[in-house]
């Protein structure tokens, strides 16, 4: 730790993204990215006029992108916040609504950003354990009416969603308690809470272009909520990073959100590949948590999740496993192309068959 770091950050915890090794080519299925290309509409949108316009600052209100998102999701721009990925939207929301000691809650097993943020900024955070079947225990979020809630729905890395009825229960506990629902994976066959936004002023829904829209490198995410929430977030943004989105991101994002057919085509492709992959894992005798996301979470049989991850890496395939005791036996694999998933399955089979060897080695 250097001399100049603010004391407040002494206990900070750094978020660890999925690794991006460069020693060889990998089939990269460890960060829930897409193996499919972004919409070609982006290339048309980034034309010479856009290049020339970069001689000037980007629009700090990101109005073109907010309008385009608004048309697709049926909200006025005044209810839409855009940022550099869902992570920045969450950051600005947390900056806007939380200070040291503010009470928030989220599951013990979820997207780790909530915890790293809460810890680094000294929020009073409570992490509720998941049930034995890895579902969220909704009752935990009903007990403390003044503790805000952050939920990934569907949850990451389990892939399990809770119902809109349950989210409504949580929202109704106290209209003065903010509930942030991170819908990074909502597009793969889940019901979105956007339908609740106009009914509950304490709901902020966050989505991203990084998963279902195939462009994590473009860094585009958005939040939708009541006008007052969004205007507060916009004002806080203007205090810190008024030109948060580049002209390229605004133009590309606008083209992407309008590529509706492209979007649906690849969602369906990924759902089909996922279902087939999960069927085949089950046929091999694995316990699979059937997901409604772009990843699969399954439990090891013969070898530990750690060994499976390491052995897959040796074979050029990156997946992820997690340290928490409740999910230590599980591996998370992002759904890639059909060809990639066939390679993964063959590798998994091979490693399982060799599994007995690994056991002997351990003895």
The 8-class DSSP code of residue 294 comes to S
Counting residues that bind ligand PLP (by CB under 6 A) gives: 13
Q: Give the residue with the Cβ less far from ligand PLP, 85 or 355.
A: 85
| Dihedral Cα 230, 231, 233, 235, nearest 10 deg | 170
Binding of ligand PLP at residue 153 (CB under 6 A)? no
Q: Decide: residue 174, CB within 10 A, 0-12 exposed, 13-18 middle, 19+ buried.
A: middle
Q: Which is nearer to ligand PLP, 110 or 307 (CB)?
A: 110
> Which sign, positive or negative, has the C-alpha torsion 337, 342, 348, 354?
negative
Check residue 187 for interaction with ligand PLP (CB under 6 A).
no
Q: How far is the CB of 88 from ligand PLP (least distance, A)?
A: 7
Round to whole Å and give the CA distance between 362 and 20: 29
Strands, DSSP E only, in 87-226? 103-107, 124-128, 148-152, 179-182, 203-208, 221-225
State the number of CA atoms in the 13 A half-sphere of 55 facing the CB: 4
Q: Are 42 and 255 in contact (CB under 8 A)?
A: yes
CB of 87 to ligand PLP, least distance (A): 3
Please say which residue, 223 or 355, places its beta carbon nearer to ligand PLP: 223
With binding defined as CB under 6 A, does residue 86 bind ligand PLP? yes
Which of the ranges 7-15, 61-69, 84-92, 306-314 carries the binding residues for ligand PLP, by CB under 6 A? 84-92
Cα angle 350, 343, 349 (rounded to 5 degrees) comes to 20
Question: Minimum distance between the CB of residue 160 and ligand PLP, rounded to whole angstroms?
Answer: 12
Whether the CB-CB separation of 267 and 74 falls below 8 Å is answered with no
253 belongs to the binding site for ligand PLP (CB under 6 A)? no
Q: Which string of x and - marks every residue 29-68 that binds ligand PLP (by CB under 6 A)?
A: ---x------------------------------------
Task: Dump strand ranges (E) for the chain.
Answer: 27-28, 80-83, 103-107, 124-128, 148-152, 179-182, 203-208, 221-225, 287-289, 295-299, 317-318, 320-321, 330-334
Among positions 38, 70, 77, 85, the unique one binding ligand PLP when judged by CB under 6 A: 85
Q: Does 148 bind ligand PLP (CB under 6 A)?
A: no
**What is the rounded radius of gyration, in angstroms, for the C-alpha atoms of the chain?**
21
Among 184, 218, 233, 347, binds ligand PLP (CB under 6 A): 184
Rounded to a whole number of angstroms, the minimum distance from the CB of residue 295 to ligand PLP is 9
Q: Which of 79, 190, 210, 291 binds ligand PLP (CB under 6 A)?
A: 210
Under the binding rule (CB under 6 A), the answer on residue 156 touching ligand PLP is yes
Q: Could you tell me which stretch among 208-216, 230-238, 280-288, 337-345 binds ligand PLP (CB under 6 A)? A: 208-216
Please calculate the CA angle 149-104-325 and round it to the nearest 5 degrees: 85
Residue 117 three-state SS: helix
Using the structure block, give the residue that is written with the tokens 């399990």.
Answer: 160
Residue selected from 216, 232, 284, 299 as contacting ligand PLP according to rule CB under 6 A? 216
**Is residue 221 at the binding interface for ligand PLP, with CB under 6 A as the rule?**
yes
**Stretch of 79-87, 133-141, 225-233, 284-292 lying at the interface with ligand PLP (CB under 6 A):** 79-87
User: Does 182 contact ligand PLP by CB under 6 A?
Assistant: yes
> Is residue 297 near ligand PLP by the rule CB under 6 A?
no
Nearer to ligand PLP, 15 or 143 (CB): 15
Could you give the 3-state DSSP secondary structure of residue 264?
helix
Q: Which two tokens mark 321?
A: 């496993």
Q: Which residues bind ligand PLP (CB under 6 A)?
A: 32, 85-87, 111, 152, 156, 182, 184, 208, 210, 216, 221
């Amino acid at each position: 730790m250097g001399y100049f770091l603010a004391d407040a950050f002494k206990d900070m915890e750094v978020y660890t993204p999925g690794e991006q090794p460069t020693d060889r080519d990998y089939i990269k299925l460890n960060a829930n990215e897409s193996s499919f290309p972004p919409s070609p509409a982006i290339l048309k949108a980034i034309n010479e006029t856009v290049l020339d316009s970069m001689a000037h600052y980007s629009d700090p209100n990101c109005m073109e992108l907010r309008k385009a998102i608004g048309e697709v999701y049926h909200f006025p721009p005044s209810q839409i916040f855009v940022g550099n990925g869902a992570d920045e939207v969450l950051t600005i929301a947390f900056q806007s609504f939380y200070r040291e000691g503010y009470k928030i809650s989220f599951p013990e097993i979820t997207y780790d950003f909530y915890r790293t943020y809460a810890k680094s900024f000294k929020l009073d955070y409570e992490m509720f354990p998941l049930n034995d079947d890895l579902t969220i225990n909704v009752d935990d979020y009903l007990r403390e009416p003044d503790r805000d809630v952050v939920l990934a729905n569907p949850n990451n890395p389990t892939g399990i969603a809770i119902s809109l009825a349950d989210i409504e229960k949580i929202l109704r506990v106290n209209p003065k308690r903010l509930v942030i629902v991170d819908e990074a994976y909502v597009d793969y066959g889940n019901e979105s809470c956007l339908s609740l936004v106009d009914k509950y002023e304490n709901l902020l829904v966050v989505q991203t272009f990084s998963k279902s829209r195939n462009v994590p490198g473009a860094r585009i995410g958005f939040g939708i909520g009541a006008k007052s929430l969004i205007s507060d977030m916009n004002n806080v943004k203007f205090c810190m990073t008024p030109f948060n989105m580049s002209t390229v991101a605004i133009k590309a994002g606008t083209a992407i959100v309008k590529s509706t057919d492209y979007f649906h085509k690849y969602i369906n492709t990924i759902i089909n590949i996922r279902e087939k992959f999960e069927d085949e894992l089950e046929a091999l005798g694995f316990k699979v948590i059937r997901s409604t996301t772009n990843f699969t979470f399954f439990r090891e049989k013969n070898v530990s999740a750690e060994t499976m991850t390491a052995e897959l890496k040796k074979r050029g395939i990156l997946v992820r496993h997690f340290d928490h005791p409740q999910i230590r036996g599980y591996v998370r694999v992002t759904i890639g192309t059909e060809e990639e998933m066939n390679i993964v399955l063959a590798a998994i089979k091979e490693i399982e068959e060799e599994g007995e060897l690994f056991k002997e080695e351990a003895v």
